[in-house]
Amino acid sequence: MNTTEMKKTKEDKSMLLPVLALRGLVVFPGMMLQFDVGRKKSILALSKAMEDDQLIFLVTQRDLSDNEPRQEQLYQTGVVARIKQLVRHPEDGVRLFVEGLYRAEMTDEMHDDPFLLAKVTPCKLIAYRKTQRGEALIRYTQNLFEEYLQNYSRIPPDIIVGVVQKKDCGELADYIASNIMFDFEKKQMILEEPSPVKRLNKLVDILKNEIQVLEIENQISEKAKEQIDQNQREYYLREQMKAIAYELGEDDNPQEEADTFRERIAKLCLPELQEKKLLKECDRLAKLPFGSHESSVILGYLETCLDLPWNTLSEESINLDKARKILDREHYGLKKVKERILEVLAVRKLAPEIKGQIICLVGPPGVGKTSIARSIAEALGRKYVRVSLGGVRDESDIVGHRKTYVGSMPGRIIAAMKQAGTRNPLLLLDEIDKLSHDFRGDPASALLEVLDAEQNMAFHDHYIDMPFDLSDVLFITTANDFSAIPEPLADRMDVITLGSYTHEEKFHIATKHLIPKQYKKHGITPKMVRIQPAAVHALIDGYTREAGVRNLERQIASLCRKCAAKLVEDPETRITITQKSLEPLLGPARFKNDDLHKTDEIGLVNGLAWTSVGGEILPIEVAVMEGTGKIELTGSLGDVMKESARTAISCIRTRASSLGIEHDFHTKYDIHIHAPEGAIPKDGPSAGTAMATAITSALCRVPVRHDVAMTGEITLLGRVLPIGGLKEKTMAAYRAGVKTVIIPSDNVPDLAEIDSVVKDSVTFLPVQKVDQVLEAALVRTPETKAGVVHNSTGVLPVPAGQPATTAPSIPQ
């Protein structure tokens, strides 16, 4: 577009001018204004205007959020302005100083690329004629402006002088509108009015409204100042907000909130007791003033109570085939556990009205207790909610706090019911054996009401302070050590024991579940990485030693991470992990098959111990030295275990002559009994037979069979008493490669719970007397001799040549 085309056309006084769209800004004739310009099209329009006669059409856009407005998105009426100064910023912006010349309208748009160009025609204005009415209107407007200044004092003095000097209605309206703050839509309305008198009348209406708003603002400010301290600025701002809301009629009405709560209570169809209590709280809320602390407490209380599933029940469907498929899909092995769970489900299907059965899943970490509970919930179609009780020592965590306390909240049981959204979820109370108590109360005692079918139909949480029915909830608890659960609480639960996994079970779990899971987690496919079965076996034996499979999963994840690093470097590579490649990837094997000595040793016996993570081999070592009859016990032994050691020594003394031991050995020799891994505390009476055998072996110099392990409590008379944890102990013996396990005869019924793979690999020898233990464990029978001669080392010599005794076994 050349310069000639930018000038006036022949047919009228219209001009072709670049258009500058203003955002939230209205320019009036005679107005001097300075502002920044940043949009690309606007800068190009300014450049074009500077090339010609420095004239530009300033018009306001309707939508402030529009970054690229077209003609239809702009007001038609604007101002032709002259550019007085243009300063470019280093940040690609422009500081513009303009003077408004006269009103004009866009009559036609030529184009909008690269900038907006339009045909602009001066507005046809009505000339102002001085009349008495016009003079009165000017004075009235000036008086209104003075009143405006009384409420809004941030007007420069030169503007006040300018208002007094104006004697034309149109000029006065433009001057005031351009120098006071109000919405750009109102300013545009004044700009578009051609009549000076009407323009000033519109300004008068706007000024009146602004004065009223400013007066209300001042009243609000005064009200707030009367209520607060001058130094509490934060409180002052809150009071201002309250006063503003009150003037606008937008403040919260406690009566309306109370009515809303009453409607919600009516829809819930609550029992009479609960309904009366909640309605009473609604009445209290309606009488309280807005903003009081007590009203916020009642609001929180009502919201919590009404969010509880008072009458909401999810549909339960018990399908044993479906449940069996889910359990088999999610868990390998655990045959007896699955059968026990299916029996529970079958009973629930036949007698759904029977309630109150609490299942407790007991087993070492990592064997799948929590995941089994989730599978049961899926099989039943119930909502699953987990509540962790590990480390809980405050009974308020179970039964909640009184709502009058600051920061009070319901207990974990009610919070779990709120989370479930149904009255009959499956609620898992995890790690129930980790509860503790202190001066704040005993949470285990608080759980007695929760897990008792006769009481939990009216469970009383301190926060909601009214009965809530928990009888439809299916509670499942988990524990590592059942003996750590308080007896009254344990008496309410039906125990299902999950034992340690065998090597074969771990292998199948790894191949069917853990490896695919870690492949998916690390973005690996079986085509990229293949772990050979031999590598999985070596991983189980050499890098993990646990009852469950958590460490095994960590090792598989470590392999996947190392493979992922190689795959990123070379996406085309294919990795096969063999048994030999484990050491370069994971380092040397952490565990060797050295639980059992390969040779028969004197004074070394394989005992069996139970721990919270499963069974373990507990070696017992005894050394006999010349001395004064001292007994040394080391290895972090507890009081019960120390007493067992002394009992074993006394028992051997009663059989000294039959075993070929001097009757006064207890005065000539020091006996040192040691349990390796001294940093680990050990206690319990079940190592009595092992200690007696090790002492006899050391005194008689007869080696103990290395492939025999034993457990059992011993008495002074040599009787062998029953022990607990036989399943875990025998599993440990199996893992260690033990061939024969000596057990008390009274523990024979417990063999029915032993895994079949253990029975197939281990021979069990039930005994009643310590003599049977010695006969089965020692490689030969000690020879009875009168007048035993001692060597220089102070150790009793025993003649060799006796044949080893083969221990009888019970049929499997």
Give me the CATH number covering residue 90: 2.30.130.40
CATH number at residue 188: 1.20.58.1480
Within a domain: 239: no
**Main-chain phi, psi angles of 122, to 5 degrees:** -60, 140
Total domains, the chain: 6
290 and 367 in a common domain: no
Instruction: Tell me: pLDDT of 7 over 50.
Output: no
For the annotated catalytic residues, the residue numbers are 686, 729
Mean pLDDT within 592-608: 77
In the DSSP assignment, the letter for residue 670 is E
- Read off φ and ψ for residue 86, nearest 5 degrees: -140, 120
What is d(CA 607, CA 596) in angstroms, rounded to the nearest whole number? 11
Helix pair 196-227, 132-151: axis angle to 10 deg: 20
Q: Which residues contact 200 (CB under 8 A, 6 or more apart)?
A: 137, 138, 141, 169, 170, 172, 173
Q: How many CB atoms lie within 10 A of CB 262?
A: 15
> In Å, how far are 8, 58, 202 from 717, measured between CA atoms?
130, 114, 116
What is the amino acid identity at position 393? R
Q: Are residues 719 and 767 in the same domain?
A: yes
Query: Which residue, 306, 330, 347, sits at the end of a domain?
Result: 306
Q: Among 113-127, 237-251, 709-723, whose mean pLDDT is lowest?
A: 237-251
Q: For residue 630, tell me if it sits in a domain.
A: yes
Reported confidence tier of residue 693, pLDDT bands at 50, 70, 90: very high
The Cα 770–Cα 778 span in angstroms is: 12
Quick check: 327 and 338 in contact, CB under 8 A? yes
Assigned domain for 811 exists:
no
Residues 20 and 87 in one domain: yes
- Residue 804: is its pLDDT beyond 50? no
CATH number, residue 391: 3.40.50.300
In this structure, the answer to whether residues 56 and 111 fall within a common structural domain is yes
Structural domain includes residue 789: no
* Domain match, 620 and 757 both: yes
Phi then psi for 504, rounded to 5 degrees?
-65, -40
616 and 765 inside one domain: yes
564 shares a domain with 451: no
CB 187 within 8 Å of CB 26: yes
CA 80 to chain centre: 63
Q: Are 474 and 427 in contact (CB under 8 A)?
A: yes
Same structural domain, 575 and 443:
no
* Position 521 confidence tier, pLDDT thresholds 50, 70, 90: very high
Q: Which amino acid, 286?
A: A
510 domain residue, yes or no: yes
Same domain assignment for residues 745 and 684 = yes
Domain-ending residue, one of 451, 473, 497: 497
* Statement to judge: residues 454 and 528 lie in one domain: no
238 lies in some domain: no
What are the pLDDT digits (tens) for 480-498?
888 888 888 888 888 888 8
Q: Quick check: is 314 in a domain?
A: no
Q: Is residue 799 part of a domain?
A: no
Q: Do 767 and 630 belong to one domain?
A: yes
749-787 pLDDT, tens digit each: 988 888 788 888 899 999 999 999 999 999 888 876 544
> Could you tell me which residues come within 8 angstroms of residue 619 by beta carbon, excluding any fewer than 6 positions away?
604, 605, 606, 607, 675, 676
Q: Are residues 430 and 298 in the same domain?
A: no
Can you give the CATH number for the domain in which 702 is found?
A: 3.30.230.10
Report the SS3 class of residue 190. helix
* Final residue belonging to a domain, choices 64, 92, 122: 122
pLDDT the model gives residue 481: 83
Whether pLDDT at 657 is above 50: yes
For 475-525, the three-class secondary structure string (H helix, E strand, C coil) is EEEEECCHHHCCHHHHCCCEEEECCCCCHHHHHHHHHHHHHHHHHHHCCCC
Q: What is the DSSP string of 534-563?
A: HHHHHHHHHH---SSSHHHHHHHHHHHHHH
3-class secondary-structure state, position 611: strand
CATH code for the domain in which residue 559 is found: 1.10.8.60
Q: Residue 9 sits in which domain range?
A: 3-122
